[in-house]
Chains A and B, each alone.
Chain A
Amino acid sequence: MTDSLVLAFVIGAAFGWTLERAGLADAPKLARQFYLTDLTVFKVMFSALVTAMLGLFWLGRLGVVDVSAIYVPETFIGPQLLGGLVFGLGFVACGLCPGTSCVSAATGRLDGVAVVAGLFAGVLAMGFAVPAIAPFFTSGARGTFTIPDALHLPYGVVVFGVTLIALGGFVVAERIEARA
């Protein structure tokens, strides 16, 4: 086995460990995000996003990392909008996302096992449907397209803005939880 695959396993193990520590293996706890009684999903996700975003920005700025060499998911506006809508419906129906469903199953939760089975079915069904919806599947293709590109703003300004929005979101999240 190559070093890269060993590294993938180690990174995955740290990912799974952290999700379980945060309580994100428990579907009812995740579902509370959408009924505004427990905002752990938002807090964990946006602390992680901002930490990685700031880390990458500063490592790039200090010349430690070549940010342009890191793969950025490509933008396809149409399918990412519709895909997100369908995904969100599934998310609130089952209370887990693909990553957390694996952790849920690994911690003995049978509903997590059912979500994993459903995921396989959904990926296979939509995978087979891709040729039939080919024009839509690639609609709004923009390649590597970032918010700094779209808004014609410097990378650092957008990083600062996203950080401020996340911090504001944490304040609001604490208020909502205090009321719930």
Chain B
Amino acid sequence: MASRAPQPYANPYAAGTCLGLVLLAAFVLSGRGLGASGAFAAAGTSAVRAVAPEAAQSSPYFSRYLESDGRVRPWHDWLVMEILGVVAGGLASAVAAGRWRLTLARGNGVSPRARVVAALCGGAAMGAGAVLARGCTSGQALTGGAMLSVGSWIFIAAAFGSAYAFARPLRALWAGGPIGSAAK
């Protein structure tokens, strides 16, 4: 696939409209919207149970992912199956478009080590925030936003407001990329 030039990305409004139809299909066919962070919670519960079964049982947060027999079967979880689908769909699309490539995406002015640390820390902050908010950009912003939930719109305003507020102090994390001379 390296012999083929990658296809350009789709028009964002067309892709967004398709994504909206996928979300609408989830509403109509499954009675619920999309999600992502919830799958991490469900899968994480199986790790907690494997290491410390009592901790999973007594935790008000993790115990809701346990089934009635006290076991946890992540593959019985709607969001876990949906996220496995996301991985499969993303992989298939990238391969079909000649875009699959083993790489570390970063700004040219950022060391690989700094990029990995920022990715780990950023991921951890999003995980913590998503537990507090009961969802992430998928479950709250997209799904709850389309359902006009007040809490979801509070989450949208807070998350985007915060990201813009921290963009300037964190600009070194993207040097030579989004804000460097190679920006376009």
Contact = CB atoms under 8 A, between A and B. Distances in A.
Nearest to B176: A28
B20 A97 contact: no
13 contacts: A13-B89, A45-B137, A65-B27, A73-B135, A83-B133, A84-B157, A90-B122, A97-B136, A120-B44, A124-B47, A126-B128, A126-B132, A145-B151
Interface residues of A, number: 126
A145 B107 CA distance: 41
Q: Main SS of chain A's interface residues?
A: helix
Contacts of B24: 51-52, 55-56, 59
B50 interface: no
Nearest to B25: A11
Contacts of B15: 18, 21-22, 44, 47
A72 B144 contact: yes
Contact of B150 (A22, A26, A59, A147): A147
Contacts of B99: 20, 25, 107
B132 A83 contact: yes
Given A73-B140, A87-B126, A94-B126, A17 B179 contact: no
A44 B147 CA distance: 17
A106 B94 contact: yes
A131 B9 CA distance: 44
A85 to B, nearest CB: 4
Contact of B137 (A9, A79, A98): A98
A47 B16 contact: yes
B183 to A, nearest CB: 5
B158 A88 contact: yes
Contacts of A121: 120, 123-124, 127
A89 B166 contact: yes
B20 A55 contact: yes
Nearest to B56: A127
Given A73-B149, A91-B122, A104-B105, 13 more contacts: A37-B178, A50-B146, A65-B28, A80-B134, A81-B158, A87-B133, A101-B123, A103-B89, A119-B126, A122-B125, A123-B40, A125-B127, A180-B183
A21 B90 CA distance: 8
A89 B32 CA distance: 28
Contacts of A22: 9-10, 12, 15-16, 19
Given A8-B85, A102-B83, A121-B127, A28 B16 contact: no
Contacts of B152: 73, 75, 80
A11 B94 contact: no
Contact of A7 (B16, B17, B29, B87): B29
A93 B140 contact: no
Residue with the greatest number of chain A CB neighbours at <10 A, chosen from B94, B116, B139? B94
Interface string B1-32: 00000000110110111111111111111111
Contacts of A69: 31
A77 B154 contact: yes
5 closest Cβ pairs, A-B complex: A118-B123, A122-B127, A12-B85, A51-B20, A47-B16
B105 A27 contact: yes
